[in-house]
Structures are given as C-alpha cells and as structure tokens.
C-alpha cells in the first residue's frame, strides 16, 4: 500500500520524507490556498523533494481550459499527476489525456458508478472521499470497500486512492479494505507516531535500563 501526504506545505513534506514511508503527495486548490509564495515554484519544489507521484489539480473550468491546463501541469515534472474533478463534461478530456499517456487522478469521487466510468478511461488514480461522506452522516468507508470489489471483479488497473481521511480509523479501515493508496494529512501521521502506549513503553524501557546503571549494552 502506498502512503501519500495530503498537503502543499513544503516544510511538512521535508520533515516526513526521511522516514522513508512517503510514496507521494496530493495537493488541491484548498491546500495551496493555505500556503504563501509563488504557486508554481512551491509545486516544483515539492516535485523535486518527492520520489513519487505528486497530484496537482486543475483550476480551469471549461473542458478546453482543463485540457490545456492539464498539459501545462503535466509538463512541470516527470512525477506529476494531473488531478481533475469528476464531471460529465471532463470525461472526453480525461479520455484524450489518458490516450496521450498523461497520468490522471480523478478527484471528488462519491459513488461506485462514478468510479466505474473513470476506471474505464484508464486513469492512474481514482480518489474516493471518505470524510466528506461522514460529514453528512453516511459511512464513507463503504465506498472504498465497494471500489475494491469493483476492481477485483473487472480487473481495472486504476489505483484506488482513499482521500479525505480525517482520522486513524479511516486509515486503518482503508488498509483493511485494500485501498491501493491512502493520502493522509501530516497531522494524522504525527498521531500514528505519537501513540501513547508506544511513548509510554519507550519511557519504561529507558527507565528500567537506567536502573541497571550501565552505560553500554555490551561491556
């Protein structure tokens, strides 16, 4: 399973890359709006920092505008994936781009049938949103489970990228459901490392060891 960081913050990405567990980054207009500075140079820096796919979302609205912007985004770096929101008018654009071997991540997927349509077009990633379903009191995890079954039934190649992950349970359930990728906010990764029982355990090992009064493990 691949783990992506869901952020456009260079400092946070720099902080987590050395752990060796980050396989890519996803950004979106809302995440970019939190950053200050030149957007193109932020995105180029992120692409250089990460040894894996970096999703960058189009902000144009017309199909022709989306097509042109997708080409521009994909030319930024080799590891760029163009993120395009799901919409009927963009399907011909997505179809054309995939035929041109441009890697696409279709975002804002909220149903199995939406996912089926874009799987048929051969996109690299499909991004079902979990948390936003939960926001309206529907269990978002069901969608991930359904997509995994669809992929197994028909042998689609598109990777299921679990997005809008808000808590450790979402992440754990995505792992168990068999999502190909989970994109997670850095704050969540921080929680995984700061598990209270792991921290307590480290402290206990340390204090017990100190009681022995030894400095080295082997004399």
Among 6, 70, 115, 177, binds ligand G3P (CB under 6 A): 6
Distance CA 88, CA 92 (A): 8
| Interface with ligand G3P, residue 28, by CB under 6 A | yes
CB 183 within 8 A of CB 5: yes
Distance CA 27, CA 50 (A): 13
Q: Which of 30, 39, 103 is nearest to 71 (CA)?
A: 103
Minimum CB–partner distance for residue 143 and ligand G3P (Å): 13
Adjacent-strand bridge partners of 3: 182
Number of residues that bind ligand G3P (CB under 6 A): 10
What are the CA-CA distances from residue 166 to residues 108, 147, 156, 173 (Å)? Answer: 15, 19, 27, 12
Convert residues 153-192 into a mask of x (bound to ligand G3P by CB under 6 A) and - (unbound): ----------xx-x----------------x---------
Catalytic residue among 10, 14, 83, 124: 83
Distance CA 27, CA 46 (A): 10
Q: Which is nearer to ligand G3P, 30 or 36 (CB)?
A: 30
Segment 86 to 145, residues that bind ligand G3P, using CB under 6 A: 129, 131-132
Q: Which is nearer to ligand G3P, 150 or 162 (CB)?
A: 162
Distance CA 59, CA 5 (A): 21
Q: Which is nearer to ligand G3P, 74 or 183 (CB)?
A: 183
| Interface with ligand G3P, residue 7, by CB under 6 A | no
Distance CA 144, CA 142 (A): 6
**83 given a catalytic annotation:** yes
Instruction: Just list the catalytic residues.
Output: 83
> Which residues of the chain form contacts with ligand G3P (CB under 6 A)?
6, 26, 28, 129, 131-132, 163-164, 166, 183
């Amino acid at each position: 399973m691949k783990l992506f960081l869901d952020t456009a913050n260079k400092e946070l990405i720099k902080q987590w890359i050395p752990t060796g567990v980050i396989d890519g980054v996803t950004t979106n207009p809302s995440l970019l709006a939190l950053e200050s500075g030149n957007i193109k140079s932020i995105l180029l820096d992120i692409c250089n920092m990460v040894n894996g796919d970096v999703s960058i979302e189009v902000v144009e609205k017309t199909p022709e505008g989306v097509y042109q912007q997708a080409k521009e985004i994909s030319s930024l770096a080799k590891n760029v994936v163009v993120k395009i929101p799901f919409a009927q008018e963009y399907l011909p654009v997505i179809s054309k781009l995939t035929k041109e071997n441009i890697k696409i991540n279709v975002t804002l997927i909220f149903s199995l049938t939406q996912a089926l349509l874009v799987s048929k077009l051969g996109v690299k990633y499909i991004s079902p949103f979990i948390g936003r379903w939960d926001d309206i009191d529907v269990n978002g995890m069901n969608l991930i489970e359904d997509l995994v079954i669809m992929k197994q039934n028909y042998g689609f190649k598109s990777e299921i990228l679990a997005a809008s992950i808000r808590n450790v349970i979402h992440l754990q359930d995505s792992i168990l459901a068999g999502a190909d990728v989970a994109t997670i906010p850095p704050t969540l990764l921080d929680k995984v490392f700061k598990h209270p029982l792991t921290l307590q355990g480290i402290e206990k090992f340390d204090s017990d060891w100190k009681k022995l009064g030894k400095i080295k493990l082997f004399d």
